[in-house]
A and B are shown apart, each in its own frame.
Chain A
Amino acid sequence: MKTPLAIAITATAISASSAFAQEPKQGGIIDTIIQPEPPGLVLGMIQNAPTRTVAGNIYEGLLRYSTDLEPMPQLAESWEVSDDGRTWTFHLREDVSWHDGEPFTAEDVVFSADVFHRELNPSARAVLQHVESIEATDDHTVVFTLEKPFGPFLISFEAGTFTMVPKHIYEGTEFRDNEANNHPIGTGPFKFENWDRGTVIQLVKNEDYYEEDLPYLDGINWHIIPDGASRAVAYENGTVDVLPYGTVENFDIPRLTELDNTCVTEAGHEYFSPFAMLWMNNREGPTADKRFRQAVMYAMDREFARNVLWNGLGKVPLGAFGSNARFQNEELAPYDHDPERARELLDEMGYDGEEVRLLPLPYGETWTRWAEAVQQNLKEVGINVRTEATDVGGWNQRLGDWDYDLAFTYLYQYGDPALGISRTYLSSNIQKGSPWNNVEGYENEKVDELFNQAATAYPDEEREALYHEVQEILQEDVPVGWLLELGFPTIYRCDVKNLVTSGVGVNDGFKDAWLDR
């Protein structure tokens, strides 16, 4: 079933492609919203979503990725890999300078990767542990030597994960206390101008940007408005032109998209592919029984959640690998909405009506309603569910302490199973204190082995076979519930052109954007 909004998005995509024929216009300042206010703007030091979204216009990585996740040149003009898959050579652009005028060189790359990220950045560390050495062979060439081939290596150079930071500013200082953190210096199309905390973050055009004619915009104002209804009003009364993901509640979206001169797109999230899941505690209680977890999968009406709560956006997933993920096994038997089958499984295991606790995600009204819908689905097949609401802090702590039975979450997939998917299932990733690792406590030696092999197998055909096998095991074991591949709409005025041009477009989109006014 396609809802009106899903149809509107298709229509927008068609009209967007014809807009390319127009000659871009220079000038204009764009007003948009950032929610919530980021804690800081130095990417690499802080990796949360709002920081990425704002600072993705200030900082850059070696590569960008298309909406099909193919690597595109950014600070690296070209790259090549040795036959054994262990040596990667990147050739940098020679005309790039930092916002303070210093030239950008291979030394900056070595410093960023080998010193800055190794010390500060857990998501870069996950990649860097496979890297034996990083060397600048001349001013504009960098060579990464890996211990073993690492499948997702080339997909790890996105600005938010592998940010290039200036060596001349950070070297030899205490990174987190550096004065420059209040005035970030990058190589990107926009420069930091001003941050009036609680009100606005202002970026201005980088006049010396190395790509000709870019950026078209004179600047970006990120308004900070803490209340969801007020954010919707800001778009309605014309103060802001772009509402990025997560800025308005889902139930406001159909109303806003019907306004004049309003377009919607789901694009720009392909690299992250946010995936909503239901943690199920594999350690104790009814959820420790595989049949119970399968019953939960059959009991949930995921189509309903997608069509009603998410306005028809997103996709009901087949299993552990999202449809955007590489190496998805499409042969798996799907879990359809089948309450009868769920009841059979519960009878078989002898479920006695023991109460299970469900933690909704404290991220707003949509998630609360979703938890209510799931609770009702589960009650229909006889599962006794009690919802326990928490705030973000409480939710983090409860999951970090494994104090739950069922809990909502969503995770980014980061373009490759070895970066974004295996972390949920590897037993080496069971560790108290974080809500983002193997929180469910799933342990399966075969799965560990397959995931670990697949991460360093070379070339891709070998990885594919291993990943297909692991998906079959996961499909049977259901370590977690797979709820929805989320579709996050960006709502914008139709005269903002070329807004999303990459697979991380929500974070680096303003580089190519222009105003047809």
Chain B
Amino acid sequence: MLYARLIASRLIKAVIVLFMIIIFNFFLIQMAPGDPAAILAGEAGATDAEFLRQLTERFGLDQPLHVQLWRYVSGVAMLDFGFSYRQQVPVLDLILARLPATLLLTGTAFVLSLVLGIVAGSLAAARVKKPSGSIIMALALVFYATPLFWVALMAVVLFSVYLDWLPAYGMYTVGAGLEGFAFALDVGKHLILPATTLALFFMAIYTRMTRASMLEAAQQDFVKTARAKGLKNSVIQRRHILRNALLPIITLAGLQAGQMVGGAILTETVFAWPGIGRLMFEALQQRDYNLLLGIFFFSAALVIVFNIITDLVYRLADPRIKEAS
């Protein structure tokens, strides 16, 4: 019951925030230099006045700003995001077609980085004065500091060009005509490099975060009590220290999850992964406003959804929060 009320109030707030984001995005894009008709005309390589006039009229760019805004907002309210200027396809179709690929990539990277990061962080915390702990932390630092696109390119050079173990780009083998399990396996192979590359950075952050907050929790009195009770060290690490160290990790995971739609531009570009990040980057270059606004909307909506989920998970992880609210 308490949860239902909580969720309801959160959802109402979310709708208001989303509405403000829509309006803000609309004006933000209006301020960018370069209008879509001019760019489309430029791309065509040849233009005359008639061509420019047709484009402006077709996209409604000849209307006053408040009319454009009203059209947009009332459209979005009915989940109509308009047409992509450049591709002449409904924006929603374009986004939905790309969404699964992105979620597969970022979702895999999310789980991978979270699990491995927490495991590595716990190990490093348990071996704080041993060489193995230092090695984990040194690696984490390296992954944290190395630019993502460079790691990606090096991974391609090593695993695709020299060793020829994994495909260098794409989401599946074009022209192979695979189906069912064989297709899934093929996609899985293509997924390894981009997902690992994307996961490395967050894994490094989780590792450092987990270690730091576990070391802090280890200083607490209840840990001493647990040791005095004669509990096994592994149980203390897992049940007493890790669980108390989880809150900052959940916060971070919530942030990462919120970025799942638009957060993989570089990885998607280097590995030619057909996801939303690339779509967004291309839309930006083309000043394909409707498409860009559509992607912004989905990204914003996802951030809001994951904020709500994070709040709920806090309550599961730490019952004290429920009482406080």
A residues lining the B interface (CB < 8 Å): 29, 31, 36-37, 39-40, 46-49, 122-123, 125-126, 176-177, 181-182, 196-200, 202, 221, 223-227, 229-230, 233-234, 236-237, 239, 391-394, 396-397, 400, 412, 431, 433-437
**Measured between C-beta atoms, what is the minimum distance from A3 to chain B in Å?**
26
Q: Cβ of B278 and Cβ of A198 under 8 Å apart?
A: yes
User: B175 near A: Cβ within 8 Å?
Assistant: yes
| Stretch from B32-40, B129-137, B204-212 that touches the partner | B32-40
* Given A225-B272, A236-B161, also A48-B168 (CB < 8 A): no
Q: Which residue of B lies closest to A178 (CB)?
A: B88
Q: Cβ of A197 and Cβ of B88 under 8 Å apart?
A: no
Q: How many residues of B contact A (CB 8 A)?
A: 53
- Residues of the B chain whose Cβ atoms lie less than 8 Å from the Cβ of A237: 160-161, 164, 168
- Residues of the B chain whose Cβ atoms lie less than 8 Å from the Cβ of A431: 49
- Residues of the B chain whose Cβ atoms lie less than 8 Å from the Cβ of A223: 170, 174, 272
- Residues of the A chain whose Cβ atoms lie less than 8 Å from the Cβ of B171: 199
User: B45 near A: Cβ within 8 Å?
Assistant: yes
Q: Cβ of B285 and Cβ of A393 under 8 Å apart?
A: yes
Q: Which residue of B lies closest to A222 (CB)?
A: B174
User: B42 near A: Cβ within 8 Å?
Assistant: yes
B87's contact among A40, A200, A400, A434, by CB below 8 Å, is which? A40
14 new A-B contacts, CB < 8 A, other than A39-B286, A123-B45, A199-B171, are A31-B175, A40-B87, A122-B50, A176-B58, A223-B170, A224-B272, A224-B274, A233-B161, A233-B169, A397-B35, A431-B49, A434-B38, A435-B38, A437-B47
B residues lining the A interface (CB < 8 Å): 32-35, 38-39, 41-52, 58, 86-89, 94, 97-98, 101, 153, 156-157, 160-161, 164, 168-172, 174-175, 268-272, 274-275, 278-279, 282, 285-287
Q: Cβ of A198 and Cβ of B279 under 8 Å apart?
A: yes
Q: Cβ of B45 and Cβ of A47 under 8 Å apart?
A: yes
Q: Cβ of A435 and Cβ of B48 under 8 Å apart?
A: no
- Residues of the B chain whose Cβ atoms lie less than 8 Å from the Cβ of A393: 32-34, 39, 285-287
Could you name 17 residue pairs across A and B whose Cβ atoms are closer than 8 Å?
A: A39-B86, A40-B87, A47-B44, A49-B45, A122-B44, A122-B51, A198-B101, A198-B274, A198-B278, A199-B170, A199-B274, A225-B169, A226-B268, A227-B169, A229-B270, A434-B38, A437-B47
Q: Cβ of A394 and Cβ of B33 under 8 Å apart?
A: yes
CA A229 to CA B164, docked complex, whole Å: 17
Q: Cβ of A126 and Cβ of B48 under 8 Å apart?
A: yes
- Residues of the A chain whose Cβ atoms lie less than 8 Å from the Cβ of B157: 233
Q: Cβ of A229 and Cβ of B175 under 8 Å apart?
A: no
Q: Cβ of B38 and Cβ of A396 under 8 Å apart?
A: yes
**Measured between C-beta atoms, what is the minimum distance from A415 to chain B in Å?**
14
CA A436 to CA B45, docked complex, whole Å: 7
- Residues of the B chain whose Cβ atoms lie less than 8 Å from the Cβ of A200: 170, 174
- Residues of the B chain whose Cβ atoms lie less than 8 Å from the Cβ of A227: 169, 269-270, 272
CA A177 to CA B33, docked complex, whole Å: 28
- Residues of the B chain whose Cβ atoms lie less than 8 Å from the Cβ of A434: 38, 41-42, 47, 52
Residue from the set A31, A39, A196, A239 with the largest chain B CB neighbour count within 10 Å: A39
* Given A49-B45, A176-B58, A233-B168, also A226-B269 (CB < 8 A): yes
CA A473 to CA B251, docked complex, whole Å: 70
- Residues of the B chain whose Cβ atoms lie less than 8 Å from the Cβ of A198: 98, 101, 272, 274-275, 278-279
**Measured between C-beta atoms, what is the minimum distance from B183 to chain A in Å?**
13
**Measured between C-beta atoms, what is the minimum distance from B209 to chain A in Å?**
31
Q: Cβ of A197 and Cβ of B168 under 8 Å apart?
A: no
**Measured between C-beta atoms, what is the minimum distance from A376 to chain B in Å?**
28
Q: Which residue of A lies closest to B97 (CB)?
A: A197
A40's contact among B88, B156, B168, B272, by CB below 8 Å, is which? B88
Q: Which residue of A lies closest to B52 (CB)?
A: A433
